[in-house]
Homo-oligomer: A and B are copies of this chain.
């Protein structure tokens, strides 16, 4: 059975951000704890967290009692922002055929089917936020990831 697959890095980032979004206001979580809960390799997770910090999605606190927390309310962090922080936009062609100009006016043979799927992906990435996870979890009785 075929299924959509993101890069490991992106998946890891989504997992980590999900977990962090469950934290009570102004509480932080250490990288080690995040790695354990999300089952992401610790040392690699550290790299990912650094990217998230650089992208301004999470804030890091050093020293005793430190860790990571969201930089802004979960409702203002979209999946797309997280993917972008992982460098997801690399292949910026929105045309499978690699045509520089692939528009409604001069479409490639796959334009119709592809752009339809792509629109759904973009909508998912831009409209869904971490708040969605919290709402969904509350609804389903999932307390803390």
Contacts and interface: CB of A to CB of B under 8 A. Distances in A.
A8 B2 CA distance: 17
A89 B1 contact: yes
B98 A4 contact: no
State the number of copies, please: 2
Nearest to A121: B4
Nearest to A128: B113
A47 interface: no
Most chain-B Cβ atoms within 10 A of its Cβ — which of A1, A5, A92, A126?
A5
A109 B145 CA distance: 6
A1 B111 CA distance: 18
A91 interface: yes
A90 interface: yes
